[in-house]
Structure 1
Amino acid sequence: MTTDTGTPTPVNRPKQSRKRVVVTTATSLVAAGALVAGAWWGAGAVLPSNSATGTVVQERLDGLVDLGFPAALASVTHPDGEHDDYVAGVGDIATGSEVPVDGEVRIGSNTKTYTAVVVLQLVEEGLVQLDTPVESYLPGLVRGEGIDGSAITVRQLLQHTSGLPEYTTGIAIALEKIQHAYMSPRDLIDLALAQPAHFAPGERWEYSNTNYVLLGLLIEKLTQRPIFEEITSRIIEPLHLEHTYFPTVGEQGFRGEHPSGYHVDSEGEQFDATRLDPSWGWAAGQMIATPSDLNEFMRAVLDGRLLDEATMAEMQTSVPSEDELWPGSEYGLGLQSYPLSCGGVVWGHGGDIHGFETRNGVSADGTAFTVAVTSLPWGFIDVDDEERLMGAYTSVTETVDAAFCEK
């Protein structure tokens, strides 16, 4: 939000008292583990805590709207758990309504980090071993041309080094065909396994949503409970994330205040894609959260509230990832590191789904930043205009870098 003079006016929402206790504990853990964390994070990745930060964030959000994104939302969560929230643009094109501050958005592939945390908790409980083949947990399922579940480990699924083909090929583009269609996890796996393997397990890194659908099935097989329930009981409820949820079967809308999301149809016309069935994303991309909730979750992943120190070390053991939007990034186990232009790195993930794009990062001092926009770039830019399309994508990731580096 801005005043008439253009000075950003953050909306500061104190956490509930029960949340405050959790944050205080987490801050102590970060301080106690500073020496070890320094080896993980590198130096220098600390978001400046001053009014200039708010100015930078607001200017960046305004710039995203100028590029064509209908709305942009951002949240800065400080080490003490307090968060400042910013918005730009319009919440609904048809009505001209305001963008809800810290509104709920579809977080797409950020869902993978929640799924990864549950798998890693099962590792801590002795139910899963990272270097055991997925065949041991899902016997007879992972089979296809060049595909053998006895040669693919749980770690390789988590790190996208399995070589499994992408099931979203052919369905993610044609939103009109799947917008209101329910697709079961097995439907998604069948789409993937009808294709040949892309490479031998462990040979290299390649992002594939198929990996995380299999991890979701692994979770359900071992816990005998649906994945939305495991994520809720293990992550959402302990962290008191009031606006984070895994939509249940058939749930196409939002539960709280939210901006509308937009996409483009086969004729190139923009349309409202807010209401859709996200089942095709499932354990790889189905969830909804507010920017501040996503910040708090990512902070908890890294400060010891969800995983022990040894497990976090495994999670942050990374390999180079082929991320054109953020050169130099590396992928761990459901978590990605991003080098900052000012030195050091932040850890986060990011997610794209029809109508919404989110990017985020957490710095060494526990400061977190999330930005969300209410369209994918190809929801308002011709897919043949590669330069402009890539520029819009890059502008979102650059907003994260600017929040940590520009003063």
Structure 2
Amino acid sequence: MSSTVTDQTTPIAAAGPDRPELQQAIQEIVDSGLLGMQLRVHDERGEWVGSAGRAELGGTAKPPTNGRHRIGSNTKTFIAALVLGLVAEGRIELDTPAANYLSEFDLDPRITVRMLLQHTSGIFNFTGEYYPDGTVVPGIVWSGKEWVDNRFRTYRPEELVELALAKPARFEPGADWSYSNTNYVLARLLVERVTGRPYAEEMQRLILGPLGLTDTVAPTTESDIAEPHAHAYYRYEDAGEQHTVDVTRQNPSWISSGGDMISTTRDLQTFISALLGGKLLPAELLAEMCTPRPTGIPNMGYGLGVFVQDIDGGGRVITHNGGISGHAALMFSTPDGTKTMTGALNYVDDAAQSLAVAFQQATQRLLNQVFGPGQAADPTQSAQPTQPAQSTN
């Protein structure tokens, strides 16, 4: 992995009124039911940042335009880049059975490292499986009063893996695609096994340090978020009464490397631009990362830690979004890393994920506005729809 990084200086952010269409778009997203939103767009016109809504319930201040926030499953893109960096160093092989590195688990020997990063392992998702016929097989508790009361509990990543492996596999390794947080907890453990160091240290060595991402951390069990930040909330019902709790502070070990990282819109912009611009990985590994596996599922395309998505007007973006208990993050880029959009949302989450549809519709409008015109499609790639903000994504 190359540690060479180009000059990270960016144009001074324009004031909101200079891009009124962007300010209006994020206001629409807030109006769909969210509490607040931060947005950063970097394109041929320079860099624009803005925010809308409120940083916390009962307050009037907007979210800070570069506030720290939990990024949920955007963590997976960092993890995939980290694993691929170790592949570049010759310490991991993508098509080697994961069991060769993690012999302590009873992994199917057909499951390769590539399948973990690609979500084609078939391993049960420890946050629960949802089947097309409506069947739900629960995993750990990550919602409702029970989660709120125990949100500072520490889970060991091995504990999450063992829970998942005790459940039936969803399908034979490599036979299908299904999003599973367990894959990325195994990827974390694999990193730690081959390097002999915590994954947060390896993340610092290969990604955060070289890119100067000083506001991005892998907290593992740490509950706090450094200021400035907007607040996240969770709503649940108990004995017929609705309760809303500030869950900004929580122990994210329940999701582990499936979604535990903290970042800012600026750091996400720097990361995705550098990654797709070829500053982190050799060209052949970056191409593998951004090539989705055909699954036969309409509009679905997942590579190694990223989605490849076609948008209205012929545009194409590389993306991963994610949410975790009232915080969510957006990360989109053109395939060459030259145009990016990163965002942070704070909202009142609930077990029903009642904001998902409104959020997805508003985000799609914003996505088309930023990336739609003038972007050429690549007919060799498949696509994937915008992911809603949710705790398991």
The residue that corresponds to 2:381 in the other structure is none
Give the deviation of 1:79 after TM superposition: 6.2
Give the Cα separation in 1 of the matches to 2:226 and 2:34: 23
2:312 paired residue among 341, 350, 361: 341
**Residues 318, 335 of structure 2: 8 Å contact kept:** no
Question: Which of 305, 323, 329 in structure 2 is aligned with 1:358?
Answer: 329
Q: Could you report, residue by residue, the CA deviation over 1:140-168 in whole angstroms, capped at 9, with x for unpaired residues?
A: 41x2xxxx431100000000000000101
From 33, 47, 60, give the equivalent of 1:83.
47
Aligned to 1:308: 282
Percentage identity across paired residues of the two chains: 34
Q: Structure 1 residues 322, 353: CA separation in 2 closer, same or farther (over 3 Å shift)?
A: farther
Seen in structure 2, the aligned counterparts of structure 1 residues 343 and 406 have a Cα distance that, compared at 3 Å, is: closer
Equivalence for 2:293: 319
- Rounded to whole Å, the distance in 2 between the matches of 1:275 and 1:160 is 29
Distance (whole Å) between structure 2 residues aligned to residue 214 and residue 296 of structure 1: 26
Q: Cα gap change, 1:180/1:200 in structure 2, threshold over 3 Å: closer, same or farther?
A: same
Q: Distance in 2 between matches of 1:405 and 1:53?
A: 20
- Asked if structure 1 preserves the Cα contact closer than 8 Å seen for 2:74 and 2:322, the reply is yes
Task: Identify the match of residue 142 of structure 2 among 172, 175, 187.
Answer: 172
CA 294–276 in structure 1, closer or farther in 2 if over 3 Å, else same: same
User: Which of these residues, 352, 357, 362, is aligned with residue 390 of structure 1?
Assistant: 357
**Distance in 1 of aligned mates of 2:33 and 2:101:** 46
Structure 1 residues 178, 56: closer, same or farther in 2, change over 3 A? Answer: farther
Contiguous gaps of at least 5 residues in structure 1: 1-17, 25-48
Q: Is the contact between residue 74 and residue 369 of structure 1 (CA under 8 Å) also seen in structure 2? A: yes
1:110-259 matches, within 5 Å, as 110-141=74-105, 143=106, 148-169=107-128, 170=139, 171-174=141-144, 175-249=147-221, 251-259=222-230
Superposition pairs of residues 370-385 of structure 1, within 5 angstroms: 370-375=342-347, 378-379=349-350, 383=352
Residue in 2 that maps onto 1:405? 372
Indicate the SS of the match to 1:21.
Answer: coil
Residue deviations 1:172-225, cap 9 Å, x none?
223314411111101111221121100000011100000000000000000000
Q: How many residues align?
A: 351
Q: TM-score, normalised by structure 2?
A: 0.82
The answer as to 2:262 corresponding to 1:288 is: yes
Give the C-alpha shift of residue 68 in structure 1: 1.5
* Separation (CA, whole Å) in 2 of partners of 1:126 and 1:348: 27
One-letter identity of the residue aligned with 1:77: H
Q: Is this contact kept in 2: 1:359–1:400, CA < 8 A?
A: no
Residues 224-252 of structure 1 deviation map (CA, whole Å, 9 limit, x = unaligned): 00001111121111111121111153x11
Which stretches of structure 1, 4 residues or more, deviate above 4 A after TM superposition?
49-53, 320-323
**More helix as a share of residues:** 1
- Report the AA paired with residue 339 of structure 2: T
Displacement after TM superposition at 1:105 (Å) = 1.0
Does the aligned pair in 1 maintain the 2:292–2:304 contact within 8 Å? Answer: yes
Q: CA deviation at 1:50?
A: 12
Task: Give the TM-score taking structure 1 as reference length.
Answer: 0.80
8 Å contact from structure 1 (residues 77, 292) kept in 2: no
Tell me the CA shift for residue 98 of structure 1.
Answer: 2.9
Give 1:328's aligned residue: 299
Q: Is the 8 A contact 1:165 1:195 kept in 2?
A: yes
Counterpart CA distance in 2 for 1:391 and 1:357 is 14
- Kindly state the Cα deviation for residue 283 of structure 1 after the two structures are TM-superposed: 1.6
Counterpart of 1:65 in structure 2 is: 30
The 1:224–1:62 alpha-carbon spacing in structure 2 relative to 1, beyond 3 Å, is same
